[in-house]
Structure 1
């Protein structure tokens, strides 16, 4: 008898609890007396007993009691990101890990040990751990190609039979991730499932920010189109003395970073035709900076023009990931506009950009989110992620797959997620009259090393109180020293006119294996070179860089994706 069928019988067993001693559910462990007047007729008892016995036998086979606790303690290891936060807590040993350990031991008799992995080199470290056969039982990465590579070598557990056969044991996991996220990566040809996709609760991605106080000082309105945005940058440049006084020579009208693709996305994607098909989004969408979408080059051309007119930070290509130079320029008040993560200037409390601006410039010195880049249809299109996030997988060395699945189910339970997101009332948050949560900056063992503890809520990224209205209000409350108005505006704009990614369900694209990091590095390098090139050299630099990108594996991926789409959908260009 399949486990799903058998577990359905277990759930029905409670109906007959008064008739069968020992047939219990997790909420009632007391057996009723057979002589109880509400007991069913003997004929019903005799027909139900074999099924009840089969259910008990199956639980026994799995080593579980009727409350889904292992009769003998099981042990698992779980990956946790180490972000190296100054003043933070040990990621593998703190209040929150203890909450999880205590809960898993209490509810499932499973001992959990956390294994720290450096966040910023997690891809390389997971690679090395997998190669050595030492990866944690429950592992997490943003890189699906890494998982696919090791799956092809026999190093990853196929999760398909686990999620299918244990479905009735995992109500929180299935209820939270739903069929879509659980089966997002299931191969349509082989049926294998190498990873589960965590749920991205909010699709907030990036925003365009401008100095609100500078707009007021120059009597400018917030820009609503490309020309107005460019005119604003020119006004910042030409009025540097008015805005910065003795520091006029430090004026940076528009700032970006070496990662031009991410940091100018609202500008570049505004050049993409609004009628782009789902087919093209899939075929060319493996680069998450949208590099290969039609007309993208014209967005970079605009940046090149601005750079040569002194509107863009001239030193932006010199500083690698993690360097604080650009942030320090923003904190000092020298940057007029930039594009970045949707809430970037509001983060980090007293150490953040907004707090420093208030201290150095004044309380009115704020960055505000704006929408200045309509596309050819007049739409402020944002290409948003599908509602998926980190990829959760079990290395083949995992000897406790059911205990590991219970772990994923446990952290998906709403009560556990809310505690991990918000912490302890009176220590890390206060409950507001409207029921929302307001974050309190912790300075002791309750410090969270990641926003809303997303490194522990690995099936979930982003606040989720279970009530959408309270979630939005709690989100706005969560930025110490920042006017909630700024958060509300940023939250509204970042997904406005968004086009959410869809799942083409094409399965493995073999040409992508091992290519992600190399192609990303090539992309970043040639985009930087194209932006800083003399205007009359732009086309030559951009085209040479794109040719190298395509010849280095990009074209092979495009070709395989195109073939996969046409095999699945023929001449159709849109997903239903």
Structure 2
């Protein structure tokens, strides 16, 4: 079930200015795939610029001229007398690059970010367009598709400033354990912390996989994939909604005990010995796929991904990771965070000359036939059908999808969209051939006993000012506390938390309280 929402806003760089200029481009070749079209316009073609992530994937196609972009230009561009030109932005630097583009007046007509704090900052300095009137005029299908709840995440100070994508897959973090190792040891699948601890000790002492350098629990540096799952949630004490929403995790009852538990595991050699140095998670990937790891926590579908599952199968054919729920709290629940209903935030820079065309583009994209082609392409070429569910055929060249189901091109949705939640889950499972049941089980586990992030509708200026510093500081604090000597833990925790609050943590919390109370008053 869903519980109350809480929030950690992400940091954002300060903008110098806000402006936008469209840029021209060549008309790419058209696709032959069918799709609905709009009424043709007259006059010189207009260039609509749209941001796209450049993920730097080896062998990726031209991000401006491939199967998907040609389809877009054939079935939206031509009927609307427009050329849709994509502006690549490096995924790893998306916020920094976006800030530079906005400040230089070169941001695309349709820009986006996953960081709500960035959008709220742009809204506050009047750098992006208010969209209420344009949506009412040109975005009826888009509005109907997204619905009020999803759209509410793009409202700042009562005005629609962004178009959030609909997130159809809400599972986030999962936990996985080597069932084959448990079977060799005659141990059950852990259902609580104590049982997990016993399993980790047995992995360390008995090394059921017979590997060099066995790692009971594989992790990477804090802030990377391979996290600590919902171990903290299993220690949390009671708080009021206001406290839960506004205070940093460092002040949450039970947080200190959770880190002390992890410190104990580290000092007993149950956690990756050099995890704090693994700033890219590449070492953790290598340890898992080489069959050295007995338990880990990462994205709910991580062991199902081709690069992990196939490498593991090649190196350790008998390895069998299964999803588990093991961090039970005092109420008997496995409290864990899930994604909100919203995904990427799409917005239009204030100086755009093509705002109406931009909304028409997103409106066109919300058509089910359009979304299906952009996610799955042509049957027999880009996907095959099995039991009524499309399965992507992974390809290189023009047909390659550089992101899962082309989410970098399908800006109105994050996740599978087949128009039916049950079909969506089946499609998610179908993306992991041979592991379909594991996928279904993991998704079910990680959408049970969940809470989601609270959405603040007003920018927190202190978070904008201190957020990046506090985020980096928090990651370093976590790593230090896990690797320190047990006798030093209590005093070090208190010292680091005091420094965190003095470095901006208290200012962010105080402003959170102010905004939260104002939001509650407005509901009355």
Q: What range describes the TM-score normalised by the shorter chain of this pair?
A: 0.7 to 0.9
Are residue 487 (structure 1) and residue 439 (structure 2) matched? yes
- Which residue is 1:159 aligned to? 131
Does the CA contact (< 8 Å) of 2:301 and 2:442 recur in 1?
A: yes
Among 517, 520, 523, the residue aligned to 1:566: 517
How far apart in 1 are the matches of 2:200 and 2:321? 15
SS at match of 1:113: strand
1:230 maps onto 2:197 in alignment: yes
| Cα distance between partner residues in 2 of 1:498 and 1:155 | 35
CA contact (8 A) 1:149 1:514 kept: no
1:129-166 Cα offsets, whole Å, 9 max, x none, are 11111111110112222233333333222223322x42
2:314 pairs, out of 316, 339, 359, with 359
Q: Is the 1:105–1:111 Cα contact (8 Å) retained in structure 2?
A: yes
Cα RMSD (Å): 2.2
Is 1:474 aligned to 2:441, yes or no?
A: no
Look up the match of 1:554: 505
- C-alpha separation in 2, matches of 1:483 and 1:187: 42
Distance 2:406 2:253 in 1: 38
Deviation at 1:291, TM superposition (A): 5.0
What do residues 313-363 of structure 1 show as CA deviations (whole Å, max 9, x unaligned)?
010011213x5221011111001111100111111x2xx22212221221x
Match of 1:439 among 378, 381, 392: 392
TM-score (norm 1): 0.80
| Secondary structure, aligned partner of 1:97 | helix
Structure 1's unaligned 5+ residue stretches are 1-65
Instruction: For residue 529 of structure 1, give the secondary structure of its aligned residue in structure 2.
Output: helix
What stretches of structure 1 move > 6 A for 4+ residues in a row? Answer: none
SS in 1 for 2:265: helix
The one of 100, 104, 107 aligned to 2:72: 100
Which residue of structure 2 lines up, in the alignment, with residue 426 of structure 1? 380
Pick one of 339, 360, 364 that aligns with 2:297: 339
Shift in Å, 1:540: 2.4
Moved more, 462-471 or 201-210: 462-471
Equivalent pair of 2:201/2:216 in contact (CA under 8 Å): yes
Of the two structures, which has the highest relative contact order with CA contacts closer than 8 Å and spacing of 6 or more?
2
SS of 2:258 mapped into structure 1: helix
1:538 CA drift (Å): 1.3
Structure 2 unaligned residues grouped into runs of 5+: 1-36
1:566 is displaced (CA, Å) by: 2.1
In 2: Cα distance, 1:496 partner to 1:238 partner: 33
Cross-structure match for 2:481: 530
Residue 306 of structure 1 corresponds to 265
How far is the alpha carbon of 1:378 from its aligned partner?
0.5
Determine if contact 2:209/2:291 at 8 Å carries over to the other structure: no
Match of 1:415 in 2: 369
Match of 1:544 in 2: 495
CA distance in 2, matches of 1:553, 1:487: 41
Contact 1:354 1:366 in 2 (8 A): no
Alpha-carbon deviation of 1:238?
A: 0.5
Correspondence for 1:295: 254
Whose radius of gyration is greater, 1 or 2?
Answer: 1
Q: Return the match for 2:167 from 188, 200, 212.
A: 200
472 and 144 in structure 1: CA distance in 2 versus 1, 3 angstrom threshold: closer
5 Å-filtered alignment, 1:9-24, equals none
